[in-house]
Amino acid sequence: MFKIKDLKFKNILDIDYLQVEEHNVTCIVGKSGGGKTTLLKLLNNMISADKGEILYKDKNIEEYNPFELRREVVMLPQTPVMFTGNIRDNFEKTLRYTVRDLADDVTYKGLLEKVGLTHSLDSDTKNMSGGEKQRIALARVLLLKPETLLLDEPSSALDDETEDFIIRMVVDYSRETAGTLVMVTHSRSVAEKFADTIITLSDGKIQDIVDNISLKDENNMHYSGL
């Protein structure tokens, strides 16, 4: 899906080679300031590398129309911006901005339920908590049915129970739709629980890449006595 070669970005990232597999759940972990968010922004060409190349589906992302690329590779930032107005307005403005047909209230309500919210579509977003806004923003992203989803700390404003619910929902959605999910998370336990692959970034360099599926299989064999 993504291949990164000889990439440098300012003094933030220095990656010789990295491959992100299609149809997988990939978690990026590491200390704050290690370059995790910058890497996500590079993957949908919100920013451009100083050196090296990023391939998406074997084509340099610089060769894609940026608008078209970001319709297919959708990024949800850690602190998403709400459109002014109510929840319905947020759904509809998202669709208009991405040049898509409007949906109906049943669709919007279904997405709210998916992210664990029971608010009326007429509820104004300006007075909502950070966690509620984060979940509405996630529902907006799911409305777009992206092939590739980039999430930057999607549960940072949530309590532990809600975090588990939201991450599990997103992972299940990605697997059900055969999508690709790349997620930055502060929590190694979340990565170990849900990821197929765990990438550890430190000081802008790849420190470790773990095949978490194989690791889980080994642990299951150990616990079962095989």
Q: Which residues pair with 60 in a beta bridge?
A: 55
- Determine the distance from the C-alpha atom of residue 66 to the mean position of all C-alpha atoms in its chain, rounded to a whole number: 18
User: What local confidence, expressed as pLDDT, does residue 221 receive?
Assistant: 45
pLDDT digits (tens, 9 = 90+) for 91-132: 999 999 999 999 999 999 999 999 999 999 999 999 899 999
**At 95, which amino acid appears?**
L
- Which residues are within 8 A (CB) of 225 and not within 5 positions of it... i.e. 6 or more apart? none
Per-residue pLDDT in tens (0 to 9) along the chain, 226 residues: 999 999 999 999 999 999 999 999 999 999 989 999 999 999 999 999 999 999 999 999 999 999 889 989 999 998 889 999 999 999 999 999 999 999 999 999 999 999 999 999 999 999 899 999 999 999 999 999 999 999 999 888 888 899 999 999 999 999 999 999 999 998 899 999 999 999 999 999 999 999 988 766 666 544 445 5
Burial bucket for residue 39 (CB in 10 Å: 0-12, 13-18, 19+): buried
Phi-psi region of 58 (alpha: psi -120 to 50; beta: other; left: phi over 0): left
Class of domain 2-224: alpha beta
Domain boundaries, the chain: 2-224
